[in-house]
Amino acid sequence: MPTTEDLVSRNAVFSAADFSADFAHNAWGTVTVIGCVDSRVDPAQVLGLELGEASIIRDVGGRVTPSTLRTMAMLARVERVGIDTVVPGPRTLIVLHHTDCSMIPLAAFPDLLTELFEIPTGQLDTKSLRDPFGSVRVDVDLLRAHQHEANTLVSGLVYDVHTGRVEVAVAPMLLDRE
Ligand SMILES: [Zn+2]
């Protein structure tokens, strides 16, 4: 396992070879991915995203929670006040869930999950905790209900940790509201 010193050394290699100071200040990016914290499913790596290309929001399961929605609202505000670079649309918004997720054993701890989703225990069944294809659909629907940024294509992907491939569970659909 790499130590902090190892990682600082890797950074020296990165800064010499791959770094560019020319990236626009663009916290929001043209692409936003909501993904799981699992170290096997880093969205940047499995989707081939480059630096400066995407904002990535990660939590346990890659779930869309009230906290996720608050983070997205903050990023949108940064752009609106002119600090950030305005990116011409359409934006790409992706929910990326995966097989063999830790969310599956965590389903045995409803107290933690009601806190995460900020819902009563009786509503946990609506979150499709054991099926990534179902959970992607649930979370895309939640984004469609709450995401008010116009000109955004929202989609849902499921990554298979045994094959390295993603499957489109929800095809891109346009959110086009003001
Ligand atoms: Zn996971």
> 27 C-alpha vs ligand 1 centroid, how far in Å?
24
Residue 127 region by backbone torsions, left for phi larger than 0, else alpha for psi between -120 and 50, else beta: alpha
> 36 C-alpha vs ligand 1 centroid, how far in Å?
5
> 11 C-alpha vs ligand 1 centroid, how far in Å?
26
Encode pLDDT of 52-101 as tens digits: 888 899 999 999 999 999 998 888 777 666 555 666 668 899 999 999 99
Cα 110 to Cα 124: distance, rounded to the nearest angstrom = 8
Percentage of the chain modeled with pLDDT above 90: 69
Q: What residues have a C-beta under 5 A from ligand 1, the ion?
A: 36, 38, 101
The alpha-helical segments, DSSP class H, found in 18-150 are 43-46, 66-80, 103-106, 110-117, 132-146
The alpha-helical segments, DSSP class H, found in 3-131 are 4-17, 43-46, 66-80, 103-106, 110-117
Encode pLDDT of 1-40 as tens digits: 999 999 999 999 999 998 888 776 665 668 999 999 999 9
Encode pLDDT of 111-138 as tens digits: 999 999 999 999 999 999 999 999 999 9
